[in-house]
Amino acid sequence: MRPAEFNIRRGTPADNRPAFDVSMLALKDLFVRQGYEWKLESEAFWQVMEPLVSHVAEHAAEWWVAEDRSDGTLIGYARSVERDGLFELSELFVRPDRQSAGLGKVLLDKAFPSGRGEVRVIIATNDVRGLARYYGAGTAARFVLFSLAGQPRPAATEGYEALRIGSEAIGEFAEMEQAVVGYARHADYPWLLKNREIYKYRSGGRTVGFGCFSETGQGPIVTLEPDDQPAILLHFETLAHSRGMEALSFQVPSINVGAMNHLLDRGYKFDSPPGLLMSSRDFGRFDRFLPFAPAIVL
């Protein structure tokens, strides 16, 4: 595909839905190529994702779209966010019939320019074209991210107290993200307060972690110590069961052994192609952290 065949321009709110539709086509194609069942229905999933996608778009560092020069349809897009020095590619998608022709590189160069960010991060799919590009963009794979899904069952979490928090305790949550991830994400906390229930977990007279729950997506979950991860996951199962939810899913870093073993013991299953956390250098303590699910940013 020659550059003359497409226009590149900055994204606008009106591009949110067409961009999402491109991401669905690209992901469905990726799943099918790898033999995974594609269960998402675009309209229903848009209802789930619209608040998060709109938030990421509104608070994007860079957002670029490519449109077909002949008919103006959106054929690809890329977006990034910057939270303090954490510079993260949130999305890069090219419509399947326009892939492998250099458009991904053009979009990546725009949305994820070299030299920007103290640490450069990508939650990558295992698409080899993307991986080749991301190494080229100065990042390296650090660990695998598994999506694990299961049926929520109520369970006791003895020794832990879960307290729903509001904006008054966001500072504490930010401090814990700073301690564990290395960065606080102040642009995201108002969204989390509005769209997810944020719980503070206490045990042995001290705060041990925070977790963000909703009926449409979980995370982030952050604890000072890895051993406290299972208690939060059990609390989420209890919440989900009480709301009549039939399934619960988490994005789990492969090095978060406590969460992995706990979820597998509870019968959770791997349900989509594994992703990779890629970054320009080692950072964070991901043995005690679960990122946003559905996966889009840390």
Ligand X SMILES: CC(C)(COP(=O)(O)OP(=O)(O)OC[C@H]1O[C@@H](n2cnc3c(N)ncnc32)[C@H](O)[C@@H]1OP(=O)(O)O)[C@@H](O)C(=O)NCCC(=O)NCCS
- 279 belongs to the binding site for ligand X (CB under 6 A): no
In the complex, the smallest distance separating the C-beta of residue 50 from ligand X, rounded to whole angstroms, is: 19
Give the residue, chosen from 32, 132, 163, 179, that forms a contact with ligand X under the rule CB under 6 A. Answer: 132
Residue 125 within binding range of ligand X, rule CB under 6 A: yes
Q: Identify which of residues 74 and 234 has a Cβ nearer to ligand X in the complex.
A: 74
Binding segment for ligand X (CB under 6 A), chosen from 46-54, 94-102, 207-215, 231-239, is 94-102
Q: Which stretch binds ligand X (CB under 6 A): 39-47, 98-106, 140-148, 199-207?
A: 98-106
Contact of 74 with 66, CB cutoff 8 Å = yes
**Sequence-separated (6 or more) residues with CB below 8 Å from residue 283:** 119, 121, 181, 182
For residues 150 and 262, the answer to whether their CB atoms sit within 8 Å is no
How many whole angstroms from its chain centre is CA 225?
Answer: 22
- C-alpha span between 41 and 67 (Å, rounded): 24
Indicate whether 19 belongs to the interface with ligand X (CB under 6 A): no
Q: Is 291 in the site for ligand X (CB under 6 A)?
A: no
Establish if 20 lies at the interface with ligand X (CB under 6 A): no
What the block records as the tokens of 249 is 């899913």
Q: Which residue has the tokens 């963000």?
A: 212
State whether residue 170 is helix, strand or coil: helix
Residue at token pair 């709301």: 243
With binding defined as CB under 6 A, does residue 202 bind ligand X?
Answer: no
Determine if 294 is a binding residue for ligand X (CB under 6 A): no
**Beta carbon nearer to ligand X, 130 or 211:** 130
**Does residue number 93 form part of the binding site for ligand X (CB under 6 A)?**
yes
Asked if 130 interacts with ligand X (CB under 6 A), we say yes
> Token pair of 74, please?
């959106």
CB of 101 to ligand X, least distance (A): 5
Give bridge partners of residue 123 from the DSSP assignment: 277
User: Rule CB under 6 A: which residues touch ligand X?
Assistant: 26-27, 30, 92-94, 99-105, 124-125, 127-130, 132-133
